Amino acid sequence: MIGLNQNLNKLNMSAEKQYIDLYDQATQMVCDNSVNVMNLPRFAARQALLDKGIVGPDTERYRHTDMEKIFAPDYGVNLKRMNFPINPYDVFKCGVPNIGSTLFFVVNDTFYNKDLPKNNLPKNVFAGSLHQFAEEFPDIAEKYYGKAADVKSDGSIALNTLLAQDGFVLYVREGIQLDHPIQVVHIATGKTDLMTNRRVLVILERNAKATLLVCDHNMSSATFLNTQVTEIFTDENASLDYTDLEESSLKTTRVSNIYTQQKAHSNVWINGTTLLNGTTRNNYQIDLDGEGAYTSLSGMVIADNKQKVDTHSLITHHVPHCESNELFKYVLNDEAIGAFNGRVLVDRDAIKTVSNQTNRNLCATNKCRMYSEPQLVINADDVKCSHGMTTGQLDENALFYMRQRGIPEATARKILSVAFTADVIDRVRLEAIRTRLTTLIEDRFSGKLSRCATGTCKTCSKNLNIKNLH
C-alpha cells in the first residue's frame, strides 16, 4: 500500500498536487497493473488535474462541499493490486429476496474474479471485470471508456481516471433483454485508511434491456475515501434500470459521478438511495441525444448525526421530443446537512421537450440544514417544463391525528417518514428491489442498521453508531 503523502510535505501542497506527484512516482506501477484502454487517458487526466485542480474554476458547484478537505488526508492507495484475504461470497450473504440476481463483487476497487459462481447470462452479455473486458473487447472498451465522463468536466473524474486500474462492465449486445437483474456489491475492507477508485461501465446496444443494482458496503472500521465514475450508454430503443444503494459507514466519504448518454427512444431509470454514510457528493450528468429519449432520475437520502449528502445534477435536452422526470427527497435529523443543486438545460433546437424537476425535504431539528437550488434554463419554444422545492417538517396535523388514535409518537413519525419517501421508491420498477428498499428504509427510521435477508451478513452485524431518527 502506498501513502499519498509519502516523502512529501503535505503542509505546502494542494490536494491535487499530492495525487499528481504520487502518479509521477508510480506511473509504471499504475500502468503495469492495468490495461491499455485505461492507461491511454491518464496523461489527459493528469493535465486536467494540473490545470483545474480538484474543484476547478466552477467553485459554485462545490460551495457546500469542501473538496480540498476531502482529498487532503493521507490515504493508502492499492496501486500494486495487493490481494485482500477475503472471499466475499463466503462472508457476505446480503441479497434481495426473490430477485434472482446474478451477483458480482468489487473488493475496494478490484473486481473479485476468484471462485466466481456459475451464472446463466446469455452468451451475448458480458458482466465482469473492466480489466478483462478491455483485453477481450479492446475496440469496444476504447470506444466507450472515458467518453461520457470527460476528465475536463470535473476534478474528481480526472483524479479517478488517473489512478483507476479496474472496475465493472455490463455489456449487452443488440436485441438481448435480460430477465433477471445484475447485482454488483462494492465492498470496502482493510486495516488501514484507504482510498479506492472505482469504475462502472454500462453499454446497452439497440433494443437491449437490463436491470443493474449497485450497492456500497463496508467491512472495516477504517476510514475510506471512495471515488466512483459510472458511465452509461444506451443505444436506440434500449432500456436500463439502474439502482444505486449506499449503506457504508460514518467514516466513509464517497464522491460519485454518474454520466449517461442516451440515443433515440432509449429509456433510463436511475435511482440513488443513501441510507448510511459519512460524507457523500453525487454528480449526475444526463445527455438526451436522440429524439424520443426518456429519463427518470430520482434519489432519496436519510441522514442524521453529522452526515452530509450533496447532490448536483445536470440534465441536458439536446434534441426535440425528449422527456425527463427528476425527484429527490431528503430526510434530515440532528446536525445533518443536505444539498441539492439540480439543473435542466433545454437547448435551442429541443422543441417539444417535457421536463419536471422536484425537490422535497424534511428537517427534524433546528440544527440540520438543507440547501436547495432547482434550476431551469430554457432556450427553446414549445416546451412543457416545471420545477419546484419545499423544505419543512412532518405534518403536525397528521401526527396529532395518529396520536389521538393511540399510535405512539415515535411510531407515527416513522410511518409518516416512510410514507414521505414512497414516491421515490415507486420509481424503481422491479418489485423485489422496491420491497427491499422499503424494508431498509423502515429499519433505518427505526434506528437499526439493515439486516440481510438471510441474517448471516457479517457486514451488517457491525455495531455502528446508528440511532433512531425520531
Is 469 a member of any domain?
no
Per-residue pLDDT tens for 103-116?
999 999 999 988 77
Is 435 a member of any domain?
no
Point out the least confidently predicted range of 39-48, 204-213, 225-234, 457-466.
457-466
φ, ψ dihedrals at 292, nearest 5°: 80, 5
Is 313 a member of any domain?
yes
In total, how many domains does the chain have?
1
Is it the case that residue 297 has pLDDT exceeding 90?
yes
Burial class of 11 by CB neighbour count within 10 A (0 to 12, 13 to 18, 19+): exposed
Per-residue pLDDT tens for 383-432?
999 999 998 877 677 766 677 677 777 777 777 788 888 899 999 888 88
Length of the chain in residues, anyone?
Answer: 470
Note the helical H segments in 280-428.
Answer: 396-404, 409-425
The residues with which 312 forms a beta bridge, in sequence order, are 283, 341
End-to-end CA distance of the chain: 42
- The pTM for the full model equals 0.91
Is 25 a member of any domain?
yes
Is 196 a member of any domain?
yes
Note the helical H segments in 92-216.
Answer: 130-136, 138-144, 155-163
Is 463 a member of any domain?
no
Alpha carbon 115 to its chain centroid, in Å, reads 27
Taking Cα atoms as reference points, which of 19, 385, 77 lies closest to residue 226? 77
What burial letters (b/e) apply to 328-364, b meaning 16+ CB within 10 Å?
Answer: bbbbbbeebbbbbbbbbbbbeebebbebebbbbbbbb
Among the ranges 95-104, 221-230, 444-453, which has the highest mean pLDDT value?
221-230
Is 251 a member of any domain?
yes
Is 461 a member of any domain?
no
Residue range(s) defining the domain that contains residue 291: 2-394
